[in-house]
Amino acid sequence: MFLALAIFAGILYRTWVGTQVDAVVVFSAAAHVPVLTWGVEVLTSEPKVEDIRLAGSPTMLAHPPGKGPWPGVVFLNGATREGRFHPRVRAVARGLARAGFVVFVPDLPGVRYGEITTRTIDGAVAAVREAQQRPDVSRGRVALYGVSTGATIALLVAEDSRAAGGVSIVGGIAPYTDLRDVILLASTGYHRDRGRLELYNPEPYVSLAVARSLAGSLPQGRDRRILLGKLLRVPDKQDDPLAVLRERWVARLGLEARKLVRLLVNTDPGRFPALYAALPPRLKKAARRLSPIDGAANLRAPVEIATAPHDKYFPTTESRELQQRVPHVHVTVTRTLAHAIPEPSPSALGDLAAFDGFLVRSLHAAG
């Protein structure tokens, strides 16, 4: 009996040591630490990279040399115009492939422009289901890793009965979990923290992405085409991206679209509840569908979330609220993160260790 326990302990120890090595490989790709990254690239096999389509979405595929099967990862990036071609996104995918995973990075509908709608989620579910069924994915299961809104999409896919059974873990960096609170944050600069309104002041892009997402959730037709078209022409880095909604052309929109605009340009948190309640039922239904907090009861896979103490887009309360609803959600708050990108510092070794723990636990469950 003692011999059997010793053998089991040895296997378990080697497994965790191997996962720690994998974490170093992935971290070196994500953070791009010059000497470490060079050493990892020398000691690991160059992955194979190609473009495929996954359930209709253009997708980067990266995997180790050989035929597999390998443990699968679907990596969901946040809003960036470069999508799967973003250098850091490609580096992370290649790092995961060097660590022994087959990795899929789909360009989902709307994500490049910060336009997250139910079409985005349906596209993500379809892509994950197809990945789960591929012969190069072992055991028909994939890990879902995501960054920013990509982490939110990963949570929503893991809550969806069409794909949830084949999800091994959700690993996310700085997601939002309640779109209603993010709308409040984007329009007024305040968010709710344990029932209290707290000033936060996120990056201006949050308000633009929220506006695009809600405009994209309007019914097909003239108002959606005009409103979304105006918002898509606003530069992503504009300081006041919703100034366009305070112009005279808004008066020509229909009633439902004007109600949405009134909500988006409101800066008074006291008026927010009434303005939100006045939204068309279709938009409020979409907001619930795009909020992982609403489907938290359906979340079965383990969840690892890492976030900065003061993320520039979404407060840590977005992750903490989900943790309070679901016992198997683990949240790591670490100064190693600057929103999506790890930035290690010799003066914050404890934070680096915390982020390393997040990586090790996520990769261990995936492998």
**pLDDT digit string (tens) for 177-204?**
999 999 999 999 999 998 899 999 899 9
Question: Hey, how many other C-beta atoms are within 10 angstroms of the C-beta on 241?
Answer: 21
φ/ψ region of 68 (left if φ > 0, alpha if ψ in -120 to 50, else beta) reads left
Strand-pairing partners, residue 75, are 145
The pLDDT of residue 183: 97
131 and 29 inside one domain: yes
Nearest CA-CA partner of 72 in 157, 141, 22: 141
Residues ≥6 apart with Cβ < 8 Å to 138: 68, 69, 70, 71, 72
Cα(341)–Cα(40) distance, rounded to whole angstroms? 19
**Would residue 293 count as lying in a domain?**
no
For residue 28, is pLDDT > 90?
Answer: no
151 and 249 inside one domain: no
Cα(52)–Cα(245) distance, rounded to whole angstroms? 39
For residue 8, is pLDDT > 50?
Answer: no
For residue 332, is pLDDT > 70?
Answer: yes
Q: What is the CATH number of the domain that holds 50?
A: 3.40.50.1820
Mean pLDDT of 300-312: 95
| Domain end call among 288, 311, 326 | 288
79 and 197 inside one domain: no
- Answer whether the bond into residue 69 is a cis peptide, omega within 30°: yes
With cut-offs at 50, 70 and 90, classify the pLDDT of residue 296: very high
170 and 198 inside one domain: no
The pLDDT of residue 15: 67
The pLDDT of residue 13: 42
Transcribe 246-277 into DSSP letters. GSGGGGGS-HHHHHHHHHHH---TTTHHHHHH
Q: CA dist 71 to 95, 166, 179, Å?
A: 14, 12, 32
pLDDT digit string, tens, across residues 95-122: 999 999 999 999 999 999 999 999 999 9
Give the N- to C-terminal CA distance of the chain in Å, as an integer.
28
192 and 160 inside one domain: no
82 and 190 inside one domain: no
**Would residue 294 count as lying in a domain?**
no
Q: What is the mean pLDDT of the chain?
A: 92
Mean pLDDT of 128-150: 97
With cut-offs at 50, 70 and 90, classify the pLDDT of residue 12: very low
| Domain end call among 266, 288, 310 | 288
φ/ψ region of 76 (left if φ > 0, alpha if ψ in -120 to 50, else beta) reads beta
203 and 169 inside one domain: no
Mean pLDDT of 123-148: 97
Q: What share of the chain has pLDDT > 90, as a percent? A: 82
Work out the angle between the directed axes of helices 179-188 and 205-216 (0-180°, nearest 10).
130
Nearest CA-CA partner of 23 in 84, 104, 98, 77: 98
149 and 269 inside one domain: no
Cα(178)–Cα(294) distance, rounded to whole angstroms? 8
89 and 207 inside one domain: no
Cα(42)–Cα(342) distance, rounded to whole angstroms? 22
The number of angstroms, rounded, from the C-alpha of 58 to the middle of its chain's C-alpha atoms is 18
**Would residue 195 count as lying in a domain?**
yes
77 and 164 inside one domain: yes
| Domain end call among 254, 288, 322 | 288
pLDDT top residue among 163 and 16: 163
358 and 313 inside one domain: yes
For residue 54, is pLDDT > 80?
Answer: yes
pTM score, whole prediction: 0.93
Backbone angles phi, psi at 136, to 5 degrees: -85, 5
- In terms of DSSP bridges, do strands 329-333 and 303-307 run parallel, antiparallel, or are they unpaired? parallel
pLDDT top residue among 27 and 287: 287
Burial, 85: exposed, middle or buried (Cβ in 10 Å; 0-12, 13-18, 19+)? middle
205 and 269 inside one domain: yes
For residue 22, is pLDDT > 70?
Answer: yes
Cα(73)–Cα(286) distance, rounded to whole angstroms? 27
Domain membership of residue 255 as a residue range: 179-288
The number of angstroms, rounded, from the C-alpha of 252 to the middle of its chain's C-alpha atoms is 36
Strand-pairing partners, residue 167, are 142
Cα(205)–Cα(3) distance, rounded to whole angstroms? 59
Nearest CA-CA partner of 177 in 325, 327, 318: 318
For residue 227, is pLDDT > 90?
Answer: yes
For residue 320, is pLDDT > 90?
Answer: yes
For residue 1, is pLDDT > 50?
Answer: no
Mean pLDDT of 125-151: 97
Q: CA dist 237 to 81, 84, 212, 240, 311, Å?
A: 12, 20, 14, 9, 17
Q: Are 213 and 260 in contact (CB under 8 A)?
A: no
Q: How many domains would you assign to the chain?
A: 2
The pLDDT of residue 4: 37
Q: Are 14 and 81 in contact (CB under 8 A)?
A: no
